[in-house]
């Protein structure tokens, strides 16, 4: 545990600490907007470092290319190529493909994984947990500044939906916070209690039931895998009490939270709402698909509006469903690609989870927990950010690839 909490290690070389720092920055900055220039600088540093490592150790790239670990990025690349070629607007799809598929989901995770392959697997797992803990700390300060600024301008917490975009950061950081609960040191437990209070506050502040359900699912799966039944019962009991208190409060500051607890059809998702309209378009062309990219979907939605007067939203809007998005963009091949992606991800992660111990085992568990929560559960009610799988892909390659001689040493 102490190794997890120390960001830099004197036992590691300067190069090793630099690689770990780059991966931490890559993970943390991914979830924040408005810092594009800094992200670009980090990405350039990752590529330069990866190329340098491959140049110094020629067998490194051969080790990666000769393994099955590139199946996931290659699968997403094939999905992107197909959905771009069949697109109703190739120009829009090609722009989306370059940014979100070729760069974010193929080149960048491979480059980031090269930084990890040269490190021992235990160090890779610790770097991952450090990344998630750092993510939560940065998120806390960022949201604190936002809430303070809103309060200065007369906006109270839980009265607007401006904080809904932190969902992915909350889901990714939760396994690292739960990892702290495994340590019995009083100081760490006190930090965990404070972190838990902050986490609950931030989660409620999203006012997104999809977020609440996905986080609950992650916590439930964690309790099953870790068999922490007493801790699970105490946390669930505290959560139920909190929800009861909120439902009993009659205040304008909590009415949105209470409304979300009782709402049955959020954002008119079903019938002729977001998901219903998306399904209507898909069923008109269910096999081939329409093409890659959110702008292609919005364009088709606008084109079909005159012939669907029953659609609830009279302006283009996303399908609010990950599976419908893949089905829309690439038809049946898109659905197959999504199924294969998650099947391979869970199969590999579960196999390694059973055969490893300590931080490495927990890192594999975190991949399963995050993927289940962020995509399988939340993907049903929200158009989740599938690009964030690039972080998991980089970690999986970095953890599972055969270690080089320098890494073993």
Task: Tell me if 382 sits within 8 A of 325, measured CB to CB.
Answer: no
Residue 275 belongs to some domain of the structure: no
Q: Round to whole Å and give the CA distance between 83 and 77.
A: 10
Residue 31 belongs to some domain of the structure: yes
Give whole-number Cα distances, 166 to 174, 211, 323, 391, in Å. Answer: 13, 9, 21, 16
25-36 pLDDT, tens per residue?
A: 999 999 998 898
Write down the pLDDT at residue 8.
53
Task: Tell me if 6 sits within 8 A of 109, measured CB to CB.
Answer: no
34-83 pLDDT, tens per residue?
A: 898 999 999 999 999 999 999 988 788 777 776 677 899 999 999 999 99
Confidence of residue 369 (pLDDT cuts 50, 70, 90): very high
Domain range spanning residue 9?
A: 2-267+317-408
**pLDDT of 183 over the 60 cut:** yes
Confidence of residue 409 (pLDDT cuts 50, 70, 90): very low
Residue 214 belongs to some domain of the structure: yes
Q: Round to whole Å and give the CA distance between 282 and 90.
A: 18
- Residue 236's H or E segment, with its range, is helix 229-248
How many CB atoms are closer than 10 A to CB 214? 29
Residue 232 belongs to some domain of the structure: yes
Residue 356 belongs to some domain of the structure: yes
Total count of domains within the chain: 1
Q: Which of these ranges, 111-115, 235-239, 306-310, 394-398, has the smallest mean pLDDT?
A: 235-239
Q: How far, in whole angstroms, is CA 394 from its chain's centroid?
A: 13
Residue 74 belongs to some domain of the structure: yes
Q: At what angle do helices 229-248 and 255-262 cross, to 10 degrees?
A: 110
Q: What angle do CA 395, 399, 405 make, to 5 degrees?
A: 130
Give whole-number Cα distances, 46 to 24, 54, 102, 150, 315, in Å. Answer: 11, 12, 16, 36, 40
156-171 pLDDT, tens per residue?
A: 888 888 888 899 999 9
Question: Which residues, in sequence order, are CB contacts of 19 under 8 Å at separation 6+?
Answer: 49, 53, 115, 116, 118, 119
**pLDDT of 4 over the 70 cut:** no
Please state the rounded mean pLDDT for residues 202-210. 86
112-162 pLDDT, tens per residue?
A: 999 999 899 999 999 999 999 999 999 999 999 999 998 888 888 888 888
Task: Tell me if 93 sits within 8 A of 296, measured CB to CB.
Answer: yes
Q: Round to whole Å and give the CA distance between 369 and 277.
A: 31
Residue 311 belongs to some domain of the structure: no
Residue 283 belongs to some domain of the structure: no
């Amino acid at each position: 545990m102490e190794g997890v909490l120390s960001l830099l290690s004197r036992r590691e070389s300067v190069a090793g600490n630099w690689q770990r720092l780059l991966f931490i920055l890559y993970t943390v900055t991914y979830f924040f907007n408005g810092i594009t220039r800094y992200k670009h600088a980090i990405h350039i540093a990752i590529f330069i470092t990866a190329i340098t490592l491959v140049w110094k150790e020629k067998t490194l790239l051969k080790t990666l290319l000769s393994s099955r670990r590139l199946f996931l990025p290659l699968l997403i690349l094939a999905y992107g190529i197909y959905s771009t070629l069949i697109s109703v607007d190739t120009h829009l799809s090609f722009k989306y493909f370059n940014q979100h598929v070729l760069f974010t989901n193929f080149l960048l995770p491979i480059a980031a994984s090269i930084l990890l392959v040269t490190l021992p697997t235990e160090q890779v797992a610790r770097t991952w947990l450090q990344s998630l803990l750092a993510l939560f700390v940065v998120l806390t300060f960022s949201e604190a500044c936002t809430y303070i600024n809103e309060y200065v301008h007369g906006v109270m917490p839980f009265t607007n939906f401006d904080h809904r975009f932190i969902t992915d950061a909350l889901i990714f950081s939760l396994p690292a916070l739960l990892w702290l609960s495994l340590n019995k040191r009083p100081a760490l437990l006190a930090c965990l209690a404070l972190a838990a209070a902050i986490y609950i506050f931030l989660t409620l502040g999203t006012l997104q039931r999809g977020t609440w359900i996905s986080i609950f699912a992650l916590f439930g799966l964690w309790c099953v895998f870790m068999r922490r039944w007493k801790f699970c019962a105490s946390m669930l009991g505290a959560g139920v009490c909190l929800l009861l208190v909120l439902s009993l409060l009659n205040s304008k500051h909590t009415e949105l939270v209470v409304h979300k607890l009782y709402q049955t059809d959020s954002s008119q998702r079903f019938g002729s709402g977001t998901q219903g309209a998306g399904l209507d378009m898909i069923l008109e062309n269910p096999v081939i698909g329409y093409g890659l990219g959110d702008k292609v979907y919005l364009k088709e939605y606008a084109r079909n509006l005159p012939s669907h007067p029953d659609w609830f939203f009279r302006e283009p809007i996303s399908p609010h469903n990950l599976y419908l998005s893949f089905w829309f963009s690439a038809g049946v091949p898109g659905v197959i690609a999504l199924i294969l992606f998650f099947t391979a991800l869970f199969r590999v992660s579960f196999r390694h989870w059973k055969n490893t111990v300590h931080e490495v085992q927990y890192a594999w568990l975190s991949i399963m927990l995050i993927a289940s929560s962020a995509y399988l559960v939340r993907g049903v009610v929200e158009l989740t950010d599938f690009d964030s799988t690039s972080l998991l892909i980089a970690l999986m390659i970095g953890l599972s690839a055969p270690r080089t001689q320098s890494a073993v040493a």
